[in-house]
Amino acid sequence: MVTGRGRGTPRIGVLALQGDFEAHARALGEAGAEAVPVRLPAHLEGLAGLVIPGGESSALLKLAARDGMYEALSAFVWTMPVFGTCAGCILLARRVLRPEQRSLGVLDATVERNAYGRQIDSAILETPTALPGGPLEAVYIRAPRIAVIGPGVEVLAERDGDPVLVRQGRLLAATFHPELSADRRVHRLFIDIAAGAGRGAERAA
Ligand code: GLN
């Protein structure tokens, strides 16, 4: 699954325990990064950032309980650029509801799981965004809802008044799946953050 251009290109890990990590790796490659699968703590070494993909957050938590992966992720997310999509956003949030669930707790947000209905209610919506270039296509699959955000969290896109793409310094989180659309703006933003060249990218959140 290693994609990308080699030397001088940021190496971005994609947590490859469960979920749609292959699509993220492709998207990162298209957006100008080298994507590296992360299955073990040692795979986090030397990365410029990490994507935690969508999937099933409870299953991700179970798989991460092996091999010291949860502890390694816990350390990584407090110092490094991380982009969580859907289940990945749930894992990053400080508080998870419906049901309450353990999380890495680094993103100052409360997230409700499966908040927009059942699988059949998943949707593709045009979403206005603060990113330059017009609305984003947003693919929602049993999406969580970001119900509360702290003052340090910037909203980059909304769905019916709920934040769906947020940034907290070096952290980026989406309740939708940008890797499933052709538009690479969100991945490019994360690569810029990871490379330290994002809009006002601070290393500390
Ligand atoms: N419903 C899933 C969860 O609660 C997230 C869905 C997704 O990542 N597409 O973890």
What are the boundaries of each domain within the chain? Answer: 11-202
In which band, very low, low, confident or very high, does the pLDDT at 122 lie, cut at 50, 70 and 90?
confident
Please give the Cα distance from 34 to 3 (Å, whole number): 5
* Smallest CA separation from ligand 1 atom 2, residue: 56
Q: Specify the range with the lowest mean pLDDT, choosing from 4-8, 89-93, 159-163, 177-181.
A: 4-8
**What atom of ligand 1 comes closest to residue 90's alpha carbon?**
10
- What pLDDT does 4 receive? 53
CATH topology of domain 11-202: Rossmann fold (3.40.50)
Partners of residue 145 on adjacent β-strands: 112
- Sheet hosting strand 107-112, strand order edge to edge: 93-97, 107-112, 145-149
191 in ligand 1 pocket by Cβ < 6 Å? no
Q: Is the peptide bond before 99 cis (omega within 30 degrees of 0)?
A: yes
Please give the Cα distance from 166 to 119 (Å, whole number): 23
**Annotated catalytic residue 179:** yes
User: Looking at the predicted structure, is the pLDDT value of residue 197 above 80?
Assistant: no
- What pLDDT does 204 receive? 43
Residue 88 labeled ligand binder: no
Residue 142 labeled ligand binder: yes
* Smallest CA separation from ligand 1 atom 5, residue: 87
**What atom of ligand 1 comes closest to residue 113's alpha carbon?**
4
Q: What is the mean pLDDT of residues 57-83?
A: 97
